[in-house]
Amino acid sequence: MRIHIQNPENDPLFDFSLAMWDAAAARAPDIGFGHSVSLGTTPADFAAAMQDAEALVTDVSVIKALFPCPAPRLKLIFLTNAGLDGLAPFTWLPPGVALLNNRGTHAVKAGEFAIMSILMLANRVPAMVTNQRAGTWRKLWGSGLGGRRVTIVGLGTLGGATAEHAARFGLRVTGVRAHPAPHPHCTCVIGTDALDSVLPETDFLVLACPLTDATRGLVDRRRLGLLPQGAGVVNIGRGALLDQDALCDRLDDGHLSGAVLDVFTPEPIPPGHRLWSTPNLIISPHTAADDPATYNPLSLDIFLDNLRAWRDGRPLPNRFDTGRGY
């Protein structure tokens, strides 16, 4: 297959190389060899490659900058991102081209970040850091995780990995997803429409779902008020899942004991924004799910797995449904 890999121009930490491709091919020898692979960075590289490329491997920023464009032979676009909400509406996608995301790449890193965040909430680290900022020594006791209750919204790659860690630490895990179906690491799974019923019994609320029309503003001011006194919040999904201002209010008034957020509206957080000084809040700069050492190799493994399915005429495991938005 004629495959083109386009690196974004300003993200050298996550650049692909042909050596990286060769290593991935060697890990999947049944599908990795025999392709014509080109690599580009500039718009000129891109335009030249699109004349005959059948598959494109790139990221959201390149799509935003360079599509729509003529690509007469293109059949597959594989994006090295999981959340593609920034590309909606998908009118830029040439008819008949299958869009793939890299769902799965983030499991290890995001799962570890999420269980770390839950441990930080249980151990009161957000409050400790707030005291530290003020130069104040004050004893603050946390608790173990065993028997405490976590509610995880979204049971895809991120939420599923979170649930697995949480269950291993003895948390009682409730999963929330669009269409409830049992999950091996959840004690119970409910539909998103039943979220209100579990919030009053939630010690830790983890947001790990995609941003779609159905999830935008899901955790609004009213729902934050349904959480019990002392609950904590983690967001590794998208900033707009949550009423960020209401969250700051409930941290200010002490209803919530802490929050660990990796995603915000807007990003970057502007200088002087109230998020910077809200107590008991930890700010991670939208890097929770990304490990530069493994990101591209894992993404290529997933791409090759989809290429195998394509060759064999099977459904593509990472096919992105532009209608539902994930």
**Per rule CB under 8 A, is residue 8 in the interface with a copy of itself?**
no
Q: Given the rule CB under 8 A, which of 47-55, 88-96, 204-212, 274-282 is the region that contacts a copy of itself?
A: 274-282
Contact positions with a copy of itself (CB under 8 A) in 150-189: 168-169
Q: Given the rule CB under 8 A, which of 18-26, 58-66, 149-157, 277-285 is the region that contacts a copy of itself?
A: 277-285
Q: Given the rule CB under 8 A, which of 43-51, 131-139, 179-187, 308-316 is the region that contacts a copy of itself?
A: 131-139
Q: How far is the CB of 286 from a copy of itself (least distance, A)?
A: 7
Q: Give the residue, chosen from 38, 41, 61, 123, that forms a contact with a copy of itself under the rule CB under 8 A.
A: 123
Q: How far is the CB of 149 from a copy of itself (least distance, A)?
A: 14
Site string for a copy of itself, 243-272 (x = CB under 8 A): ------------------------xxx-xx
User: What residues contact 271, with CB distance under 8 A and at least 6 apart?
Assistant: none
Q: Give the residue, chosen from 47, 119, 190, 226, that forms a contact with a copy of itself under the rule CB under 8 A.
A: 119
Q: Give the residue, chosen from 98, 190, 240, 283, that forms a contact with a copy of itself under the rule CB under 8 A.
A: 283
**Per rule CB under 8 A, is residue 44 in the interface with a copy of itself?**
no
Q: Please give the C-alpha separations between residue 187 and each of 116, 139, 207, 236, 271, in angstroms, as whole numbers.
A: 21, 34, 17, 21, 42
Q: How far is the CB of 161 from a copy of itself (least distance, A)?
A: 11
Q: Give the residue, chosen from 282, 297, 319, 322, that forms a contact with a copy of itself under the rule CB under 8 A.
A: 282
Contact positions with a copy of itself (CB under 8 A) in 290-319: 290-294
Q: Residue 165 or residue 177: which is nearer to a copy of itself going by CB?
A: 165
Q: Residue 44 or residue 293: which is nearer to a copy of itself going by CB?
A: 293
Q: Give the residue, chosen from 15, 45, 112, 305, that forms a contact with a copy of itself under the rule CB under 8 A.
A: 112
Q: How far is the CB of 304 from a copy of itself (least distance, A)?
A: 21
Q: How far is the CB of 59 from a copy of itself (least distance, A)?
A: 15
> What's the per-residue H, E or C state across the chain?
CEEEEECCCCCHHHCCCHHHHHHHHHHCHHHHCCCEEEEECCHHHHHHHHCCCCEEEECHHHHHHHCCCCCCCCCEEEECCCCCHHHCCHHHCCCCCEEECCCCCCHHHHHHHHHHHHHHHHCCHHHHHHHHHCCCCCCCCCCCCCCCEEEEECCCHHHHHHHHHHHHCCCEEEEEECCCCCCCCCCEEEEHHHHHHHHHHCCEEEECCCCCCCCCCCECHHHHHHCCCCEEEEECCCHHHECHHHHHHHHHCCCEEEEEECCCCCCCCCCCCHHHCCCCEEECCCCCCCCCCCHHHHHHHHHHHHHHHHHHCCCCCCECCCCCCC
**Per rule CB under 8 A, is residue 145 in the interface with a copy of itself?**
yes
